[in-house]
């Protein structure tokens, strides 16, 4: 059960990443690139969990997750820096 859910999760995360990538191409806003990278990382994380049969408690798992969420945080920070500059 768990490997199936993880595999499906990885696929869905990767799909989200792909759509964000496309949004980056059409808006030229690097905000979306960062989101895409974040979701690809999360997909990879889930994929690796499938192979490891752990519960996401291995160190690699949470460092990767941390990086993924820091990317989102970075996207938000960068968006507001450029927003201030524009006005």
Interface residues with another protein (CB under 8 A) are 1-2, 5-6, 8-9, 12-13, 15-16, 19-20, 23, 26-27, 29, 31-32, 55-57, 59, 62-63, 65-66, 69, 72-73, 75-76, 79-80, 83-84, 87
In the complex with another protein, which residue's Cβ is closer, 51 or 57?
57
In the complex with another protein, which residue's Cβ is closer, 8 or 52?
8
Q: How far is the CB of 49 from another protein (least distance, A)?
A: 9
Q: Are 51 and 43 in contact (CB under 8 A)?
A: no
Q: How far is the CB of 72 from another protein (least distance, A)?
A: 6
Q: Are 20 and 42 in contact (CB under 8 A)?
A: no
| Separation CA 86–CA 59 (nearest Å) | 41
Q: How far is the CB of 8 from another protein (least distance, A)?
A: 6
Helix (H) or strand (E) holding 29: none
- 10 Å CB burial of residue 57 (0-12, 13-18, 19+) is exposed
């Amino acid at each position: 059960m768990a490997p199936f859910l993880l595999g499906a999760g990885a696929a869905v995360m990767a799909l989200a990443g792909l759509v964000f990538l496309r949004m980056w191409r059409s808006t030229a806003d690097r905000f979306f690139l960062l989101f895409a990278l974040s979701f690809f990382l999360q997909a990879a994380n889930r994929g690796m969990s499938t192979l490891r049969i752990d519960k996401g408690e291995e160190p690699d798992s949470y460092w990767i997750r941390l990086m993924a969420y820091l990317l989102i945080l970075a996207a938000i920070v960068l968006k507001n820096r450029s927003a201030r500059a524009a006005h």
